[in-house]
Chain A
Amino acid sequence: MTSYGWIQIFLFFLAVLALARPMGTYLTRVFERRVTFLDRLLNPIERVLYRVTGVNPAEEMRWSEYLLSMLVFSAATALLTYVLERMQAFLPWNPQKLAGVAPDLAWNTAISFTTNTNWQSYVPESTMSYLTQMLGLATHNFWSAAVGLALAIAFIRGIARREMQTLGNFWVDMTRGILWVLLPISAIFAIVLVSQGVVQNLRPYDSVKLVEAQKVSTTGADGKTTTSDVTTQTIAQGPIASQEAIKMLGTNGGGFLNANSAHPFENPTPFTNFLQMLSIFLIPAGLTVTLGQMVGSPKHGWAVFAAMSVLFAVGLITCYAAEAHGNPLLRGVDQQVSATQAGGNMEGKEVRFGIADSALFATVTTDASCGAVNSMHDSFTPLGGLVPLVNILLGEIIFGGVGAGMYGMLIFVVLAVFIAGLMVGRTPEYLGKKIEAYDVQMAMLYLLIFPLVILGFAAVTVLAPSFGLSSLTNHGPHGLSEILYAYASTTGNNGSAFAGLNANTHWYNTTLGLAMFIGRFLMLIPMLALAGNLAAKKTVPATSGTFPVTTPLFTTLLTGVIVIVGALTFFPVLALGPVLEHLLMAAGQSFK
């Protein structure tokens, strides 16, 4: 660990902290339909959109209507993308003349982008045409993020409102989220990215002559090895910057290129790297402030921010320390930091980012449900790789995905209030709302689905040598981590891959697709039902007898509940995965 590394990390957190309040205040204004500086430009567009689509912006929706609208919208956009993928060969902006996408992959991708997961079972530059990327995938990046944002706002309204049956209007929330928040910030961000060297064009791929010809041997399906001389390299092009901005801002994470943010065309400089990480946390951190403002207790928002920050810091320090420490199995290899090398475990990391920025990126991208990567998580040390895995298994509530992180965190808040609330001698109250049987039921249902899907699929997979284990390239504890990571990443709608696992098989495509679907849509039902129930409650005025949700003590409690209830469920399997691998590595044992 270097002081330079710490300074970058410190600057990053400082920027998150500094931007939280302006971002949060702006979000509050946008969703409470108050005056903003963009109104003159956007109000007419908003009005036209509503008139064209027949939306009545004054109409309020019950939780079930809100849910239904969201599902209808998601289904429609998923279908649109599916059709686009299948038809791309007949459509323009396909300079590489790429064929239509196969049905199962097209379906998987459509679901993946609709659910804000952006799990990619394909190599984008050799699969998706420019039109598909722009009209299908990039738009989904906006839509799925706006949907998440709308859901979080609906949940916050559930807490803030009193004796009301409704949570707002889904169409209005989503439209305003795109027009006022996602589009303007992405536009500016994209231009900044272009200035740093991110490409933005519709040209055919470049073909360049290699300085030095390479001999490449490949083993075919028949077992025969063929060796060929490679003298040219194809360099993919495309409208990358425009997609890159929303990929990060909307915590989507689906790369335009296969190498994702490790690729110099996506993430060329340490500065773009810094901005990309910052844009992941920008809206989720702002939402904590929005929470505080909308429920009328700014301090509560900061208490939640603090709990997120603590968990972020613990993960980051663990990851950074583990990666900087290097790999003890590489005896005789110089892994020390020096003026000429980053030191530590540099396998799978970009030299221009080094250890600190790779560890920070891995932590941030899994704290949030982004899933973009600038280094290969599979190549991290066991403890370094444990951090992204645990971050996802906690439910991606450490700032979290756009919107999804906030409502996931609020479920934990409700639970923490319920568990400890009785200890102050009253029926547990969250900001004046009594937490009763129905609320606990919905919160527990939400919490139950998550491990059910992850552990259930992973358990079946490890028992099946034919369709489950055959995809593994690593065995032993690391193989277990890879399988666990795949189901965690999809259920949590993260989308990052641990790699090392060939997920493009019938079993994995089906179950991972199912995991993404359940992780997004099934978990929404209890979440919105809880919000609807909270909105209908009376609010008991706060007194000195009210459960405090604004203090450092509350932050400690919330963190404790997240760790004990959230993480302990996965402790046994983690002990057999990354923890065991770490201990074995320290003892000098490795696996093939």
Chain B
Amino acid sequence: MAYENKKSKSLFDAKIMRRASVDALAKLNPKTMMKNPVMFVVEVGCVLTSVLLVTDQLRHRGHFGFDLQITLWLWFTVLFANFAEAMAEGRGKAQADALRKAKSETTAYVVTKNGVEERPSSQLRADDVVKVVAGQMIPGDGEIIGGVASVDESAITGESAPVIREAGGDRSAVTGGTRVLSDEITIRITSNPGETFLDRMISLVEGAERQKTPNEIALNILLAGLTIIFLLAVVTLQPFAVYSGAPQTVFVLISLLVCLIPTTIGGLLSAIGIAGMDRLVQHNVLATSGRAVEAAGDVNTLLLDKTGTITIGNRQASEFVPAPGVSNDQLADAAQLSSLPDETPEGRSIVVLAKERYHLRGRELGQLNAQFVPFSATTRMSGLDMDGRSIRKGAVDAIARYLQEQGSDLPAEVRASVEAIARSGGTPLVVAENGQALGVIHLKDVVKGGMKERFEQLRSMGIRTVMITGDNPLTAAAIAREAGVDDFLAEAKPKDKMDLIRREQAEGKLVAMTGDGTNDAPALAQADVGVAMNSGTQAAKEAGNMVDLDSNPTKLIEIVAIGKQLLMTRGALTTFSISNDVAKYFAIIPAMFAGVFPVLNTLNVMRLHSPESAILSAVIFNALIIVALIPLALRGVSYKPMSAAALLQKNLLVYGLGGIIVPFIGIKLIDLAITAAHLA
């Protein structure tokens, strides 16, 4: 699963980088820095060395060239971290700008008792009723209460193909800022100014209301704790150094401190979080909180609606099973004829099957002089009468009753094939002509391609998939088997869904689901990750904690992957950051004391040129590694679904062992470079 999206801006857009550079400076404000304890300590160190640099100059002390370089690189460390965060925010800001354009003021035609009244869209309140005609912008979020229209929602979804929105049902919600392309609709406004979907979306992508997620808080505590421990180690080192007759300068001590505290993850932590949200937005999914994204990574159970998610929307005819004494052609002919007027996808698929398998060309109804018998709730059959032929097709019990009325019976063989089809998960339709059963049409649910593999991947990640369907248990079981889901809920009513979620949660599991209808709302609210379809009702959208603008239920699987990738990126960089300390110790400790105790150069395993170059190299590496890892923080670590054990092994090798080795090489290279440039 690759998460490069064509629509997304390139990671290092020049405009975003320019803006981020300015923002990085603005973020030096101590008030902002306080929120990040690790980088705040670095900033305090920077201020300390800067002041000392000046006072040392005035008193003609110190080692100006070295001290200046250390001070500059310490400032760069802070700036690089700020830049990372600003970069992550930059993409969201660019997106918010685009959305703001869509929010431009329009005129709303409000229907009141006294007729239609013009009002600026910004003054619309909930429960106002407005009329929108073709070519106009929809002035606010609302529910269609009359009419049907095609709507261009590209301002929000980026998808240029228009969608149909109509009153009643699950496609009645419209969003302010989208444009009506045809027809006319009446809308009841559902949100007050400033609370519209577009407003929420802007503040979300901009990260204005970003709050730290539970995992981020826990990680921050770990980082703050480690910072205190290393602060302690460095502060107490000076007395030990004094005892040993090798006191250190403040510049060296602060260098050691900054190198030891986890600046790499500390500097990139918030960028990772923002970028995770941003990746969701690139996938056209809006999450109401970072917490929801994190929860997506933790999901244990996925509830997937069968229709649209696991199977392509509709059943399709796959086979004709003739009754004894009836030829295939005869059955196919009757089946096709009876389906000619049937405009449902199932009906069309019967015509197509007959054409493809038995080369019966579709005939035009008009030429046949036939009388169409439409489906009705009482007969539960459809068909046609022509030239003395009376063809009917329908569910087995309906046809059996029809045959009985005609004085004949359903042959046992037909009954047997009906049962066989039902057992296999298909839907049998019996075709009868002039009181005689001709055979059975096998309507089949078609599982989307590649689903089985995806469920297999989910299983390897420890995620259980449960298929939700209104089908009877027999049919459901067969489709579940074919699709490879772990479990299914048949004949599911909204309450059953709710119960299932509660049951899973009681076991400590986290549940994710998608939904669009109003009756899905309670379950969406109960689920840990509830993804509402943008085409769905307002109630559903408000109940869930994510909205999929593309209204694609399969995307739940991607959402889970994005959540996991977010958590993994944090873990990987934390491990990397902590592992880095080993090399930094070996660079700095010998450099600090080799002046007084030359034997300690034995610990200088990297054979760094001089104490100054060693310390400077470590500090530079520490600053540059933040920049080097910005792309990884923004893009997220590469991720393929596999078991936790395999993931741990892979990541521990790359980020744990790599984190130990890389700085040895990096510091050595920097040392060679600055020695060559005579900087130390």
CB within 8 Å of B: which residues of A?
A: 415, 418-428, 432, 435-437, 439-441, 444-445, 447-448, 451-452, 455-456, 458-460, 462-463, 469, 476-477, 479-480, 538-541, 543-548, 551, 553, 556-557, 560, 564-565, 568-573, 575-576, 579-580, 583-584, 586-587
Contacts and interface: CB of A to CB of B under 8 A. Distances in A.
Contact of B214 (A422, A437, A565): A437
A543 B464 CA distance: 9
A423 B639 CA distance: 10
B58 interface: no
A432 B655 CA distance: 24
Given A422-B568, A455-B232, A436 B218 contact: yes
B581 A564 contact: yes
Contacts of A573: 233, 236-237, 240
B12 interface: no
Interface of B: 214-215, 217-219, 221-222, 224-226, 228-230, 232-244, 246, 256, 260, 294, 297-298, 300, 459-464, 507-509, 563-565, 567-568, 570-572, 574-575, 578-579, 581-582, 585, 589-590, 593, 597, 599-600, 602-603, 639, 643-645, 647-649, 651-652, 655-656
10 contacts: A420-B575, A425-B297, A425-B461, A426-B567, A427-B567, A462-B240, A540-B507, A553-B648, A568-B260, A575-B593
A462 B243 contact: yes
Contacts of B461: 425, 544-545
Contacts of A423: 568, 571-572, 575, 647-648, 651-652, 655
Contacts of A548: 644-645, 648
A547 B647 CA distance: 9
B239 A444 contact: no
A520 to B, nearest CB: 20
B245 to A, nearest CB: 9
B571 A448 contact: no
A545 B643 contact: yes
Nearest to B561: A425
Contacts of A421: 571
Nearest to A577: B240
A553 B653 CA distance: 10
Closest 9 CB pairs of A and B: A545-B462, A422-B571, A444-B225, A425-B564, A543-B462, A423-B571, A538-B508, A583-B599, A462-B243
Given A480-B240, A545-B461, A568 B581 contact: yes
A586 B599 contact: yes
A573 B244 CA distance: 10
Contact of B218 (A418, A458, A564, A583): A418
A575 B603 contact: yes
B214 to A, nearest CB: 6
B508 A427 contact: no
Which among A436, A440, A445 has the highest number of chain B CB atoms within 10 Å?
A: A440
A185 B226 CA distance: 42
B232 A456 contact: yes
Nearest to B642: A544
B240 A579 contact: no
A542 to B, nearest CB: 8
A463 B242 contact: yes
Which among B463, B571, B643 has the highest number of chain A CB atoms within 10 Å?
A: B571
Contacts of B590: 575
Contacts of A551: 645
B229 A448 contact: yes
A463 B243 contact: yes
Nearest to A551: B645
Contacts of A545: 300, 461-463, 643-644
Which among B236, B244, B579, B597 has the highest number of chain A CB atoms within 10 Å?
A: B236
A544 B462 contact: yes
Given A463-B243, A480-B243, A551-B645, A422 B230 contact: no
A447 to B, nearest CB: 7
B69 to A, nearest CB: 23
Nearest to A436: B218
B225 A448 contact: yes
A420 B244 contact: no
Contact of A447 (B225, B256, B639, B644): B225
Contact of B221 (A422, A437, A584): A437
A427 B215 contact: yes
B578 A572 contact: no
Contacts of B244: 476-477, 480, 576, 580
B62 to A, nearest CB: 23
B618 to A, nearest CB: 14
Contacts of A570: 233
A101 B230 CA distance: 41
Which among B215, B256, B643 has the highest number of chain A CB atoms within 10 Å?
A: B215
